[in-house]
Amino acid sequence: MRLLTLIASTLLTALAALPLQAAEGTVLITGANRGIGLALAREFTEAGFDVIGTARKPDKASELKATGARIVQLDVTDPDSVAAMARSLDGVAIDIVINNAGVALDRGRELPDLDMAAIERTLEVNTMGPIRVMAALYPNVKASDRKLFANISSMMGSMEMNTWGCCLGYRASKAALNSASKTLATDFGKEGLTFVVFHPGYVQTDMNEGKGNITPAQSAAGLTRVIAGLDADDNGKFYDWEGKELPW
């Protein structure tokens, strides 16, 4: 059984590394100025998509600019910024919205020492941020051909997979994002919209101080392949970066 699991994992990784066939459409990626978001911008550009990347400080997003992406200012925690983004994209059909912007601010385990401000900030960015973006860009996505919202969550948002604790606010924020995505999938699937959440893998990013077992480029390559291949049958699902379905 272990050998079969290893073979399956090796095949999935190899498939993720294969180049995508030429595609077309428009994808918007939040938090696209670094890490997984930047790697996703590169992958989707190479796959033939028109990419819109958001950044809190566009003037500092030089690597994102180098991809050829259209850059839009966005702070997902600021309703005014979200509204301004939506106005700037009025009438633009967006096939795929990838809610990637996120933070991990709380790491304590001791209940008396929980950093409530950090937990609140984490929920504001990781849960409320994507909900704001989805609400604001609903008309854009509904007007597109693919009609897809892909939300970058985490296996740490899975109730079933929470066997070692830690990071209360981060886990709660991702579990809430999963729940919101599942609710929206149920409510709006009948309109042809698709909502899917993803675990990007344990990725070497600034969020975890460069720890992890895969690079942003590896994660983005797998995510791009899986996301680009989604359809209405995937509505309300939870996948990892290689396309494996995960438990809620």
Catalytic machinery residues: 170
Phi, psi dihedrals of residue 18, rounded to the nearest 5°: -70, 145
